[in-house]
A and B are shown apart, each in its own frame.
Chain A
Amino acid sequence: MNLWLLAANSIAFGGLLFLLSAGFALIFGLMRIPNLTHGSLFMLGAYFGVSLISWGVGFWLAALAGGVGVAVLGGLIERLLLRRLPGAELAQVLVTLGLSFMIADACLMQWGGDPISIETPAALRGASRVAGVAFPTYRLGVIVIAVAFAVVLWAMLERTRLGAMIRAGVDDPMMARAVGIRVPLLFTLVFCLGSGLAGFAGVIGGPILSVYPGLDQDMLPLALVVVILGGSGSLVGAFVGSFVVGVLYNFGQALLPELAYVVLFLPMLVVLVVRPAGLFGRSSP
């Protein structure tokens, strides 16, 4: 067994998971909304990417455009639906699951049931040798993208006015409102951003995962696990959680095949039972 490969892939898969779950964590952190459409938005982004690429758009542009398209949809969902339901978690669950049913079926209508592969961009095809180990070049690219996004998001949260407002909104929405932050607009922006990240991640994940009906259901639990292991709603938590899940997934599946099904959920359970707010979360929700 090639342990170096598993180690390297823990990082690469973790990178993909970070792209998947950063948006979920942001939305959850600021708005306390468990956005159960997140998997669907990921899948929808991937399908947007498929169509754009088939019309001749380049991969990277398709990824960005897919992200923007999903961001717009996310903004609409927030404006038209979630806006009405502050604090009503059950109604949020109902509406986000309802939307995920609709999106899944709409994708089936539009793109059919056959799995669709997204071609790896030409420059990143094949395998590279890193420290003597063959590793898919594209996955190295995913690591770079994930780290770049993590840095950009972190800088945005910590260094910009928007970030300061988001942080204020997370810490104390009432106070943020009192000091003149337009919290509703902020929520819409964050929801757009979180959704857009999911859509972008869908296209980026395409060359690895391909796109197929059911991709949504496969990805949502992963995002949940990442956010739980990382701690609810912090970007740093999602970042660390992604790589923790990357390691658990790769080594767990390879070394403990008997536990393949619970290799993510057992640690998640243990973390929740020991520290209900997650590894890096604040102690009280």
Chain B
Amino acid sequence: MRRLAALGSLLLALGLLASLPAWIGNSYYVNIASQVLLYAVFALGLNVIVGYAGLVSLGHAGLFGIAAYSGAILITAGYGHFVAIAGALVVTLGVAALFAVLALRGTGLGFVMITVALGQIVWGVAYRWISLTNGDNGVSITSRPAPFGLSLVDANPFYWATLVVFLVAVAAIAIFVASPFGASLRGTRDQPRRMNALGYNVWLIRFLAFLFSGLWSGVAGLLFLYYNQFVSPQTVALTASAEVLLMVISGGTATLLGPIAGALLVVIMKNVASGYIERWNFVLGAIFVAIVIFMPEGLVPGSLRLWRWATRRRRQHPAGPAAMAPVPHGSINGGAQ
């Protein structure tokens, strides 16, 4: 019965997502939806390393941006989209491997700081290696790919293509997390020493997870490139790394829906709410602070907790325990060990 309900709501969600352009109306909102999806892929990718490996990266915009830059440069050089995409992902994985080797020298805050430094170096290179990146002017591309002959120029087909990539990402990450390797990864997050003593190669597990995270960051970077048809140093800035990290944390780390909710929150605030609220940056900051106060574990797990608490309370006595829904302590301490 429960499985049936789960299947039903999954199908309903899929149907809603697929038919979104039909009922959302304006192409502007369809584009916003595409952005939510592409940032959700990015956040899901980052969550692999932040949520499941317990390693906080503040340099992932570097990987995202390297994929976008590589794609843009290959396309500008005259290669086809297939070569550009494949090439960009290979380059991204190569750089992710280098990032991982360096960053995994540290754990906890050491890891964070190494990723900050790496991200800043990528930013410096993007800014300064003008012959390759065109400096602060950035690189424009004029076309989007046409898979199976379907043009992605218009908002709707681009949305559907992004949706397909998004669904593949969600499925891949869901399978990954539930797999024996995913269990091993979560083990290295919670008890790295113990895992080592149990026979696991903790370093290699983290390394591979970093590559997997980098791969999805790269895929998101390519979506970003094709969406904007433009990439510039701001794409790889520290603020961009911080932004996607905020998506992951605010939505809820180590959950599948959390990063998606976080991407939705940030993209909507930045792009839609900013049209109505002049001081949207202040409001966004206030929302983050409010999340920490009321749902320190993130929006998705926090809402679930409140929901469970509310329904249990209703089922029990109306005057049940008067205390607030208990906030689990340290439930989102990431890099700590």
Contacts and interface: CB of A to CB of B under 8 A. Distances in A.
Interface of A: 32, 34, 81, 84-91, 93-95, 97-106, 109, 217, 221, 224, 228, 232, 258, 260-262, 265-266, 268-269, 272-273, 276-277, 285
B56 A90 contact: yes
A285 B285 contact: no
A280 to B, nearest CB: 14
Contacts of B239: 217
Query: Which residue of A217, A258, A265 has the most chain B CB atoms within 10 A of its CB atom?
Result: A265
Query: Which residue of A81, A94, A273 has the most chain B CB atoms within 10 A of its CB atom?
Result: A94
A34 B285 contact: no
Contact of B56 (A32, A93, A277): A93
B249 interface: yes
B330 A86 contact: yes
A34 B113 CA distance: 10
B315 to A, nearest CB: 29
Contacts of B333: 87-91
A97 B239 CA distance: 10
Contact of B292 (A32, A81, A105, A265): A81
A32 B245 CA distance: 19
Nearest to A104: B281
Given A265-B124, A269-B117, A88 B285 contact: no
B124 A94 contact: no
Interface of A is mostly: helix
8 contacts: A34-B109, A87-B333, A91-B333, A94-B249, A102-B289, A261-B125, A262-B124, A265-B120
Contact of B110 (A84, A258, A277): A277
A217 B238 CA distance: 10
Nearest to B117: A269
Given A97-B242, A104-B281, A261-B128, A90 B288 contact: no
Interface of B is mostly: helix
Given A91-B292, A258-B128, A277-B110, 13 more contacts: A81-B292, A85-B296, A88-B333, A90-B334, A91-B249, A94-B292, A99-B289, A224-B116, A260-B128, A265-B124, A272-B105, A273-B105, A285-B110
A231 B121 CA distance: 21
Contacts of B291: 94, 98
Given A88-B332, A272-B117, A109 B279 contact: yes
B114 A99 contact: no
B285 A93 contact: no
B107 to A, nearest CB: 8
A282 B183 CA distance: 32
B217 to A, nearest CB: 18
Contacts of A90: 50, 56, 249, 253, 332-335
Given A261-B123, A269-B114, A277-B110, A94 B56 contact: no
Interface string B225-254: 000000000000011001001100110010
B221 to A, nearest CB: 21
B22 interface: no
Contacts of A272: 105-106, 110, 113-114, 117
Contacts of B110: 272, 276-277, 285
A97 B105 contact: no
B190 to A, nearest CB: 14
A72 B222 CA distance: 46
Contacts of A84: 292-293, 296
B114 A91 contact: no
B211 interface: no
